[in-house]
Structure formats: structure tokens, C-alpha cells
Amino acid sequence: MSVGNFSSSGATFEFLEQRQMFAVSPVYEPNALVAGQRLPQYAADFWKGIFAIPVYAADGKTIINPQFDGPLNDGDILKTTHTFTSPNGKVVMLAGSFFGGKISRTVTVPSDTPIFVPMLNDEWSNPDTADPPKFDSVPGHYTPSQLAAFAVKQTDTFRGLSARLDGVKIADVAKHREKSLAFKYTQPAKFSITQVFFNESAPGPNAAAADGFYLMLKPLSVGKHVLHFVGSGPDNSASPPLLGAFQADMTYTINVVAKGSRSVSAFVQGNAASSAPAAIDRSDLRDLLGSASDDIL
């Protein structure tokens, strides 16, 4: 993240930055109507989709939730696409990350399809939000309006958002804040997100609120594209139940294939890649989630 200055080199850089903007924006406007619904509904659909996918497959070792890039435990195997399809079947949703940091992913998507991008966002529900006064255990007992207020307060602190597509800056990404519609999510009975993170089985439906910054890319041309975005949130854990510091630095290599081609099967069946890298540093997860994670980490 950098702050502008008034040196001569800085002025030249700003001039070049302006010249390298898109003549026609590659993203839809905030709150746009895309394929029959508006972006706040897609934001809710994103979170409902994430919670509907178990962290692990039935074997308890293969991580399949698209928010992950490494194992939680030694011996885990990562096998996920980092994408899923919106409920209306008309939009490809890229996954975010529960852990942040510098991440690179490669995905395959069909042409003529908008792409939903979660840059920096947060979700709040009782199964994953600790209760006062100690804020060290879940579930919480908050009203929907209280959960929505947490989402707003957390998102208000996000800073430094920027995004580039194929090396060209996307303008005004900070204007793309989308407060999701009120929604409820359901989870699988086994290896759900709240079960794995908090030892809290909550099949639902669970009332939730979310807020954050999202982009909806217009359909991309067939071929290879690179999307890179950054943003950060400060350490808000001194004001529980708000979260700890978070840094996003995500690069997506997006391979767009023609609809109807055999290559689309890579998207339909999943861009599965198996690996067994080192387990995620759980101290990072504790810093993010706060004291409510102590019992499980």
C-alpha cells in the first residue's frame, strides 16, 4: 500500500496511472442488475454458497471448501476449484480467503459469463460470533440488527483497496461496497465451517449479515487473464467481537474457455489440484478470530 506524494517522480507515475485506465470499465456498476438480480443479492448468495460447502470431504482429510489454500492439519490434502456457480446458474463466483496474505490461484471459467469477485468482506452470524462479556465462546445471541451493525463497523475500517485486470487499474473500486441483503445460511451436518473452526454444529438456517467490497467482472474474452487485488483491515480485536488485522493480496489467473468446448468440463467438474503443503499457521488464525478460537486451536 502506498500514499501519494508530490515529488516529480510521483507526479509522472500518477500521469501514467491515469493513461492506463480502461476506456470501458470491465466491471459492472455498484448495485448493478446482472443476470436478473442485483449485487447485494449476489453477496448474500456468495456467503450462502461458502457455508453450504463442507471444509472436508467425507474422508476428513481432503479439503474441498474453496476458501482454503492449504491444509489445517498435517496430512490434509487440498482439492478445491476456488470457484462455484451462483444459485441462478448465471454467474461464476470466485472464492475469497479466511486467512488472507499473499495468495495466487488459477481457475477456469466459461466465456460469456460474469465473474463475481469478493475483494474484502466480512460475515456475521451467531454460530461464528462470540458472546459477551468475555467474547471467548460461541454461539452468540445477537439480533439480526446487531449482526448487521458489526458488519458495517468492520467494513468501515477497510483500507487500501485497489484492483488490476491484465495489468490495468480498475477505477474506483472503493465505490463497490455491497451490503448484502439479510439472509440465512445452512451447513452440512459434518465438517461444516463453524464445526471445524469453533466446534459448533449449526446446520441452520442461521440468520446472518455481511458487508464488504465486491466486483462483478463483465464476461471476459476467451484466453488468459490476470486479476490482482489488495486491501487490508486493521486490528479491531480491542473492540470485540470485531476482528483482528487482515491483509488481502490475491492474484487470480483466469483461463476463459469458450462455452460448449470440451475445456469447459474443467470448470464443471472442478479445477481440482491435489497437494500436501505445510499446515496453516494456526497462530495467524487465532489472531484473526480472537479469543473465541482458543478452545479449538
What integer best gives the mean pLDDT of the chain?
86
- Residue 229, SS3 per DSSP: strand
C-alpha cell at 244: 483482528
**Residues 87-134: pLDDT tens digits?**
999 999 999 999 999 999 999 999 999 999 999 999 999 999 999 999
Confidence grade of residue 181 (pLDDT, cut at 50, 70, 90)? confident
Query: Which residue has cell 479466511?
Result: 98
Mean pLDDT of 67-80: 95
- Tell me the CA end-to-end span of the chain in Å, nearest whole number: 31
C-alpha cell at 146: 446487531
The β-bridge relationship of strands 115-125 and 206-217 is antiparallel
Distance, in Å, from the CA atom of 53 to the CA atom of 288, rounded to the nearest integer, reads 22
> What's the pLDDT score for residue 22?
75
